[in-house]
Amino acid sequence: MAGGHSRIGAGEPAPYFHAKALNNPRFAFDTAAGRWLVLCFVGSAGDAAGARAIAAAKARTDLFDDSHAALFVVTSDPRDLAEKRIADRYPGFRHFLDFDLAVSRLYGVAPQEAAAGEAVALRRAWVVIDPTMRIHEVIPFRPDGADVAEALACVERLPPPDRFAGVELQAPIIVLPRVFEPELCRHLVNLYETVGGVESGFMREVDGRTVGVLDAAHKRRKDCEITDETLLAAIRQRFVRRVVPEIRKVHQFAVTRMERYIVACYAAEDGGHFRAHRDNLTKGTAHRRFAASVNLNEDFEGGEVSFPEYGPRGFRPPAGGAVVFSCSLLHRVSRVTAGRRYAFLPFLYDDAAAEIRERNRGFIGAADPAEGGDDGAPASRTPPAA
């Protein structure tokens, strides 16, 4: 057997990964957070143990429904696909095709030095993960099949996702009213309505490079760039005086840089929304530390910012108010169902992160036309914010 297995246990962070799924060539596992997740490493669906686990779990539509929990069967046997042994069941039951053993190595199921196609001893297991992507329990396969009943009983006992910690949690965010005055809000909205917006996308890592992507199913938003230097200075001043001190107080982090100056518009007529994502997982966005979402108006419905790992609650500050949060947090913007939501959406970071940004510039490929998105292309300006 090549190398040794790594071990993960309860209370430890569940490793993030991208993997090929039956319905998605590059499924970002961390975006499924916000419910209980179960990875069932079967090795192969073609033997008795793997087939038994799959059949028992797939039958539990009451447990695996994408609201309470979602199950992902991880197979490393290419014959499962070629011989059509596996099929997804929606909602709640999907497959990862781990033929190169990358996911199995991450979770200690395969030896660290195992290579694709190599005959290795797999430590097959069920891995139960809480809504914030931390390991809840690891249940090894057993020769007598008792692991199946144990794993399903474990999921049956799990509390609702929004009370997984025993209490209802508050997302670790800062909500700040009165960041922008009403006059500044109206001015920024008028700027958008005068100039118009351009469809913005998001950034994705492809072959080691950060490239811009447009996908209306994932995100629908139009952005207008702010270029007037007097207006930019006014915006920076308000962040320096009203946002930066709060980040320093709460997180002991000294913001010195602001990236991206846009008025963004989520419009009901476009189906404006942004599905769950994080803002700093590509080389081109790794420098981002905090995001701010400043609402500029109130005459719309929907469009709330929520943080699925910490419950379903959405946040909608009044006009001029901001939600400030770590770029590492999974967040989404619900569909705007009436009117238009206008917002100012910068990223904040410090001088040390600016060095990371500079080092990673060579990894940035072609961006989308708007150079935007909450995890979108880096902006052209990074003036000091404090």
298: tokens are 């109130």
The predicted pLDDT at position 382 comes to 38
Model confidence at 117, pLDDT cuts 50, 70, 90, reads: low
Rg of the Cα atoms in the chain: 23
Calculate mean pLDDT across residues 85-98.
Answer: 97
pLDDT in tens, 309-343: 999 999 999 999 999 999 999 999 999 999 999 99
Task: Delimit the domains of the chain by residue range.
Answer: 18-163, 174-363
Task: Of 73, 20, 17, give the one whose Cα is nearest residue 42.
Answer: 73
Q: Cβ distance 5 to 112 under 8 Å?
A: yes
110: tokens are 């395969």
**Cis omega (within 30 of 0) on the bond before 91?**
yes
**Which amino acid belongs to residue 178?**
R
Model confidence at 7, pLDDT cuts 50, 70, 90, reads: confident
52: tokens are 């038994």
Using the predicted structure, report yes or no on whether residue 370 has a pLDDT greater than 70: no
Task: Of 335, 282, 25, 276, give the one whose Cα is nearest residue 133.
Answer: 276
- Can 18-163 and 174-363 be said to share one CATH topology? no
Using the predicted structure, report yes or no on whether residue 91 has a pLDDT greater than 70: yes
**Integer angstrom CA distances of residue 251 from 106, 245, 254:** 30, 10, 9
Query: In whole angstroms, what is the distance from residue 250 CA to residue 137 CA?
Result: 32
- CATH T-level assignment (fold) for domain 18-163: Glutaredoxin (3.40.30)
The predicted pLDDT at position 378 comes to 29
pLDDT in tens, 213-223: 889 999 999 99
Q: In which region does residue 280 sit, left (phi positive, over 0), alpha (psi from -120 to 50) or beta (all else)?
A: alpha
Instruction: Give domain 174-363's CATH number out of 1.10.3720.10, 2.60.120.620, 2.40.240.10, 3.30.70.3000.
Output: 2.60.120.620
pLDDT in tens, 48-66: 999 999 999 999 999 999 9
Of residues 5 and 295, the one with the higher pLDDT is: 295
Using the predicted structure, report yes or no on whether residue 386 has a pLDDT greater than 70: no
The predicted pLDDT at position 368 comes to 38
287: tokens are 């420098």
The predicted pLDDT at position 115 comes to 65
CB-count exposure of residue 217 (10 Å: 0-12, 13-18, 19+): exposed
pLDDT in tens, 134-146: 999 999 999 999 9
Bridge partners, 326 (sequence order): 290
Worst-scoring range by mean pLDDT, 85-89, 200-204, 205-209, 217-221?
Answer: 205-209
Q: Cβ distance 41 to 96 under 8 Å?
A: no
Cβ-proximal residues to 358 (8 Å cutoff; 6+ apart), any chain: none
pLDDT in tens, 267-316: 999 999 999 999 999 999 999 999 999 999 999 999 999 999 999 999 99
Q: Which helix (H) or strand (E) holds 185?
A: helix 182-195
Of residues 366 and 286, the one with the higher pLDDT is: 286
**Which amino acid belongs to residue 127?**
V
The predicted pLDDT at position 289 comes to 98
Q: Cβ distance 35 to 69 under 8 Å?
A: yes
Question: What is the pLDDT of the chain when averaged over all its residues?
Answer: 92
Using the predicted structure, report yes or no on whether residue 116 has a pLDDT greater than 90: no
Using the predicted structure, report yes or no on whether residue 4 has a pLDDT greater than 80: no
Q: Cβ distance 373 to 203 under 8 Å?
A: yes
Model confidence at 204, pLDDT cuts 50, 70, 90, reads: confident
pLDDT in tens, 338-360: 999 999 999 999 999 999 999 99
What number of other Cβ atoms are within 10 A of residue 278's Cβ?
Answer: 22
Worst-scoring range by mean pLDDT, 149-158, 203-212, 249-258?
Answer: 203-212
**Integer angstrom CA distances of residue 327 from 208, 278, 289, 290, 294:** 20, 6, 5, 5, 15
Calculate mean pLDDT across residues 141-163.
Answer: 97
Nearest 5°: CA angle at 266, between 262 and 271?
Answer: 150
Using the predicted structure, report yes or no on whether residue 241 has a pLDDT greater than 50: yes
The predicted pLDDT at position 365 comes to 77
Calculate mean pLDDT across residues 102-110.
Answer: 96
Using the predicted structure, report yes or no on whether residue 197 has a pLDDT greater than 90: yes
Of residues 5 and 300, the one with the higher pLDDT is: 300
Model confidence at 210, pLDDT cuts 50, 70, 90, reads: confident
Using the predicted structure, report yes or no on whether residue 377 has a pLDDT greater than 70: no
